[in-house]
Structure 1
């Protein structure tokens, strides 16, 4: 489904907007390009200064490298000579531009962009006139364009004509992708691979008769981007464009991606995960081992360019790019929450394993941080201040599948001096939110047989049932008259509101996919939420450590109208908090 974007007040970098939003981003904290001999030996940095650069490829004459960079905020396309000189920006749009491929004559650039709709299409840029045109313009996401050597065709991968599929027993999406070719003028669209398998990253043979790609099961596109990648198997395949005849070039273990013909017979590719991660070749030889990503070889097969990612901890309150000038976006640890006076609490994961975190309280600017609660083996998660700011309510335990010991709702004094357990028993309880008068707490419960939202009186421990569906992330409105939450109804995750007495259920979002993590603005007029409606920005198996890379941040009025995106990128953006204006924080 195509969605027309309502982008108001576009800006290039975060400025001084009317609203300041804290949000968590799951993804690389840095990306740098390297160029090396074809086997990965003799590696050197492509550029003297890194600007968060990735997804590079060579021009047909081998003199230029085009790549994506976030050095000026949004992701845009640049080019540079192979010696690192002559850096030039080719696109300048607040939308997502990525995965560029130059035509054989060097006059046109095919690239992926979310311009206009939010989901990926293949666009073509005339490098002389700087005019752009949408080549594919169809529902769904298109990825990884590749020009044929004669310049007549563009091959690409696409999830068009597919429905959202969830990983078994989970909320993350699978990615059914097939290969297509289209004439450079936009005619003659043809599908090359059948449904039911994932096929990605097409590249042409030197004689333009074959296309090489990597193939795997659709079900494996979820673990391939997470902790299970080492157990995933894919193979390198080529197909005859005229006859459809397939040839399998690899066998055995390993997640093999990013193939490319180096000559008529030899193909280079990356083993992303498995027994021998690194560069490899179909003639049997192994290249340099390592965690390089998205390699692209020069036309003569003598050089390779690739990126290396870093996942160091981002600093609290690091400025992030916003597509809307009315909103300043800054990074935060997960589930930030503000008190009325502007104090901040977050789930602090520094120094812990994946399924463990503490609660930390700090000033709005991230200074004077103090850990106030930690439990060995548990995640202190999704906290919220009491209206009088004396207490913080939160969940602690196991929240992610497989869930271990049941999570409980607890409260701790804001200075960490005292804690109390509010729920007990076998139900997994968490994601609590205070009523504005401080007399009730809404939270979610989960088990194999029981779901929904519950309302707790913290004074006497009395619990009442609000809902009994697959509901989560409740958030009490500042006025106390509504509770926003995420619900899986009609085989889709959407944002709803309901009155605290259980009446007046209202569905606010209706787009396919995941809409969730909703939080109220301090004045109660708007809701922030994350959404997957734009879909994947790249082929799912090419991601690292990003469970839901389709997650973007949105804002809407509390009646569900005027839904607008605040982010448009290749990362996972979620768990926002709206900073209140107060004398203490100066906003």
Structure 2
């Protein structure tokens, strides 16, 4: 009898421990705006659920991508492209809206409040960047089985200019400071991407090097920051000089991935999205990091168990806009702003 009671006790204890373990994985309240590790940081919500901010069709860190799903790895399919943008004057914010099965670019005031204005009327827009003069939006769209790069006026009209030839898979267009050159990356198979450019005056395409998610350097037209896959399918941040041929890794950590580098206005920092893990809640997610352009002083800025990603700088470098699931019990994405001072 005592042996039976002892077995029953241990069975009950095991069930209780199991239930606690399960609860720990889903217990976190995503409606919280910040976590203790982010104490002292001011977060401001720019959009709301009515804006229907898209989350890259759910393929950034979704279970079906194999990013964190059953394999439980920290490698990420990091060819993803910027999902939000800030106008050069800092007055407007752009994001991808999903409505009635279509995704398009919406523009609204960077200050909280105000209606959004639709700037593309397409079917499947996946990401975009603003031109340095604020007049043009360069976006990626899926048409048929191919991704392509396109241009549209940032302020008026609906005329779209196609940059890609329609038969390749081109992503993440970025316009040079003089407006003449458009840099992008081309998919050449799983985890294989190369950097290309298109000259708007000569209509010529040029291929440079391996890489994706290009980040231009205003004071060095011969170099670029980009992300690259390792042989383990993890993603690193590199600086590539097209003229000298010098290629150097800026940010790499075994078991982690980093992508979408964004150079700060003062040229001192790179803002990146990185794979992360909330140890307390045991949740794999993405967070926002900064690192010096020489690869030192890597600093994690966000710790929320929800995904924080696609960060961009404000023109004065004092704020960061990003996509996040924070503040939403339903884990919906919205555009948020946070202060930056380092």
TM-score range, shorter chain: 0.5 to 0.7
Deviation at 1:556, TM superposition (A): 1.2
1:496 aligns with 2:299: no
Q: Mapping of 1:419-568 within 5 angstroms?
A: 419-448=160-189, 451-467=193-209, 469=210, 471-481=211-221, 482-491=223-232, 492-501=234-243, 503-511=245-253, 512-534=255-277, 538-539=281-282, 549-568=284-303
Residue 207 of structure 1, CA deviation: 2.8
Structural mapping, 1:40-55, within 5 Å: none
Distance 1:409-1:526 versus aligned 2 partners, 3 A rule: same
User: SS state of the match for residue 206, structure 1?
Assistant: helix
Alignment-derived partner of residue 127 in structure 1? none
What 5-or-longer segments of structure 2 have no aligned partner? 1-6, 48-52, 56-82, 318-338
Distance 1:502 1:466 in 2: 12
CA distance in 1, matches of 2:278, 2:251: 16
Distance 2:40 2:29 in 1: 29
C-alpha contact 1:323 1:565 (8 A) present in aligned 2? no
Counterpart for residue 120 of structure 2: 373
1:319 and 1:521, CA in 2 relative to 1: closer, same or farther beyond 3 A? farther
> 2 CA distance for matches of 1:421 and 1:531?
31
Counterparts in 2 of 1:319 and 1:390: CA distance versus 1, 3 Å: farther
Q: Which has the higher helix share?
A: 2
2:97 maps to: 349
The answer as to whether partners of 2:28 and 2:281 remain within 8 angstroms in 1 is no
Work out the CA distance in 2 between the residues paired with 1:518 and 1:260. Answer: 41
Report the alpha carbon displacement of residue 350 of structure 1 after superposing the two structures with TM. Answer: 3.8
Alignment of structure 1 residues 214-253 onto 2, 5 Å: none
Show the 5 A alignment for 1:159-238.
206-207=9-10, 211-212=14-15
Distance in 2, Cα, partners of 1:489 & 1:442: 22
Compute the displacement of 1:529 (Å): 0.6
The CA distance in 2 between the partners of 1:564 and 1:295, in whole Å, is 30
CA distance in 1, matches of 2:316, 2:39: 19
Distance 2:258 2:230 in 1: 12
Residue 358 of structure 1: how far off its partner (Å): 0.4
The counterpart of 1:323, out of the listed 26, 31, 38, is 38
Q: How many residues align?
A: 272
Counterpart Cα distance in 2 of 1:342 and 1:385: 11
SS at match of 1:397: strand
Matched-pair contact (CA < 8 Å) for 2:85–2:95: no
After TM superposition, the runs of 4+ consecutive aligned structure 1 residues lying more than 6 A away are 306-311
Q: Is the 8 A contact 1:478 1:523 kept in 2?
A: no
> Any idea what SS the aligned residue of 1:407 has?
strand
2:84 is aligned, of 336, 343, 351, to 336
- Give the greater-gyration-radius structure (CA): 1
Q: What is the distance in 2 between the residues matched to 1:331 and 1:504?
A: 40
Q: CA 1:210/1:325 → structure 2, altered by over 3 Å: closer, same or farther?
A: closer
Distance, in Å, in 2 between the alignment partners of 1:502 and 1:328 is: 42
Please name the residue that 1:358 is paired with. Answer: 104
Using a 3 Å threshold, how does the CA distance of structure 1 residues 391 and 369 change in structure 2: closer, same or farther? same
Cα deviation for residue 490 of structure 1 reads 3.5
Consecutive unaligned residues in structure 1, runs of 5 or more = 1-203, 214-257, 262-268, 270-293, 297-305, 312-317, 399-403, 541-548
CA shift digits 1:189-237 (9 cap, x unpaired): xxxxxxxxxxxxxxx9733797359xxxxxxxxxxxxxxxxxxxxxxxx
Normalising by structure 2, report the TM-score.
0.67
Match of 2:139 in 1: 394
Match of 1:110 in 2: none
The CA deviation at 1:557 is 1.2
Give the drift of 1:487: 0.7
